């Protein structure tokens, strides 16, 4: 990879992937969503001579052809990802996640780009029917968000099957770490504790998740981009370790030395049929293809995440008293 494009580079995972690619020596064209303030999101924290920031929107097919021109590899991360917001604005998820992915696939095909990595999510599996969840597990659209990602994945794979577009569908399980939205469970707990709250608002604490530290997720993307055998495949990035929300929150409280109580906030609960109660990923395929394995334990990753969020300069960027859907 000499020159790469990262869409959604202004977001949580995208900004970490951008930094990791720069550290690998790549020239990175990083797409931030257009806004009149010329704000680059988390890319504002990255300064590097190999970084080219562009602003725009993947919903525009002409713009997509423009930004993929001249790059070797495209990492497509641009998406709407908040599950609660998908309940109230499902149209926007189809527009961005499905149509946006179609636009990128078409642009990659038209411009002859060598590799395309499309970002999926473990949410497409829904509540586990069996564990560990491998890539053959049935897809279960338990939210408009997950339905849109199932559609996006299908669009990407259809371009491989119909046109031999060199696509890999990369499927990270639950990624966490510095810069994550406070909507997600780990940062919402950390930011409330760091802000001095002792009654911590949470949703359902019974579901389990397979948590990836963000540096491991970025390393998985890069490993798959270098692997020709990954073309045409769906590939999990998972740790193979399952932990409940309740145990995760207790671990955070212990790291932060906080004596707190948990209070269930009804607005943080998913509709009953939409909650994903169990996620535990099988990472044997990515390990076989690339040798990738997670470097960080959950305890190590949580420690780094707490350290970042409790820096006053970082915490000040979050509105801890507001639940963001």
Looking at the DSSP bridge assignments, the partners of residue 264 are 202
Residue 65 Ramachandran class (φ > 0 left, ψ -120 to 50 alpha, else beta): alpha
* Among 204, 130, 185, CA closest to 298: 185
Tens-place pLDDT, residues 184-209: 999 999 999 999 999 999 999 999 99
Q: What pLDDT, on the 0 to 100 scale, is given for residue 224?
A: 98
Q: Rounded to an integer, what distance in angstroms lies between the CA atom of residue 15 and that of residue 5?
A: 12
- The secondary element (H helix, E strand) that includes residue 213 is strand 211-213
- Sequence-distant (6+) residues with CB within 8 A of 136 are none
Token couple for 30:
């990083």
Cβ–Cβ < 8 Å for 203, 150? no
Query: Six-digit token pair at 298?
Result: 């959950």
What's the confidence (pLDDT) of residue 319?
87
Q: Is residue 120 a contact partner of residue 152, using CB atoms and an 8 Å limit?
A: yes
Distance (Å, whole) CA 67 – CA 11: 18
Q: What pLDDT is recorded for position 130?
A: 98
CA nearest 301: which of 159, 180, 162?
180
291-321 in b/e form (b: 16+ CB < 10 A) is ebebebebeebbebbbebbeeeebeeebebe
Q: Which residue has the tokens 């990035």?
A: 237
What integer pLDDT is reported at residue 191 of this predicted model? 96
| Dihedral sign, Cα of residue 290, residue 12, residue 180, residue 79 | negative
SS3 state of residue 166: coil
Low-confidence ranges of the chain (pLDDT < 70): none
Q: Is 255 left (phi over 0), alpha (psi -120 to 50) or beta?
A: alpha
* Count, residues in the chain: 325
In the three-class reduction of DSSP (H, G, I as helix; E, B as strand; rest coil), residue 22 is classed as helix
In order of their start, the domains of the chain are: 3-175+212-237 (3.40.50.720), 181-209+241-278+297-315 (3.90.25.10)
pLDDT of residue 325: 73
How many other C-beta atoms can be found within 10 angstroms of the C-beta atom of residue 325? Answer: 14
């Amino acid at each position: 990879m000499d020159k790469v494009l990262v869409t959604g580079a202004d977001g949580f995972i995208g900004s970490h992937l951008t930094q990791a690619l720069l550290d690998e020596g790549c020239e990175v064209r990083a797409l931030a969503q257009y806004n009149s303030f010329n704000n680059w999101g988390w890319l504002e924290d990255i300064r590097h001579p190999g970084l080219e920031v562009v602003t725009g929107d993947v919903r525009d097919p002409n713009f997509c052809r423009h930004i993929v021109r001249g790059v070797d590899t495209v990492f497509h991360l641009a998406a709407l990802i908040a599950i609660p917001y998908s309940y109230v604005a499902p149209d926007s998820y189809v527009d961005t996640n499905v149509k946006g992915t179609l636009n990128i696939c078409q642009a990659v095909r038209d411009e002859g780009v060598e590799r395309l990595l499309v970002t999926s999510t473990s949410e497409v599996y829904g509540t586990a029917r069996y564990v560990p969840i491998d890539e053959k597990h049935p897809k279960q659209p338990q939210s408009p968000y997950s339905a849109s990602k199932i559609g996006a994945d299908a669009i990407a794979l259809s371009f491989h099957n119909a046109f031999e577009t060199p696509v890999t569908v990369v499927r990270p399980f639950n990624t966490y770490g510095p810069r994550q939205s406070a909507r997600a469970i780990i940062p919402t707990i950390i930011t409330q504790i760091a802000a001095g709250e002792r009654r911590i608002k949470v949703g359902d604490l019974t579901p389990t998740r397979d948590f990836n530290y963000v540096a491991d997720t970025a390393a998985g993307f890069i490993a798959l981009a270098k692997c020709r055998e990954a073309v045409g495949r769906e590939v999990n990035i998972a740790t193979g370790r399952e932990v409940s929300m309740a145990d995760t929150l207790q671990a955070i409280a212990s790291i932060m030395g906080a004596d707190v109580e948990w209070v269930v906030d009804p607005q943080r609960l998913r509709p009953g049929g939409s909650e994903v109660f169990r996620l535990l990923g099988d990472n044997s395929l990515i390990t076989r293809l690339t040798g990738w394995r997670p470097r960080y334990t959950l305890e190590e990753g949580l420690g780094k995440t707490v350290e970042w969020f409790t820096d006053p300069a970082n915490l000040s960027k979050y509105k801890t008293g507001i639940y963001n859907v």
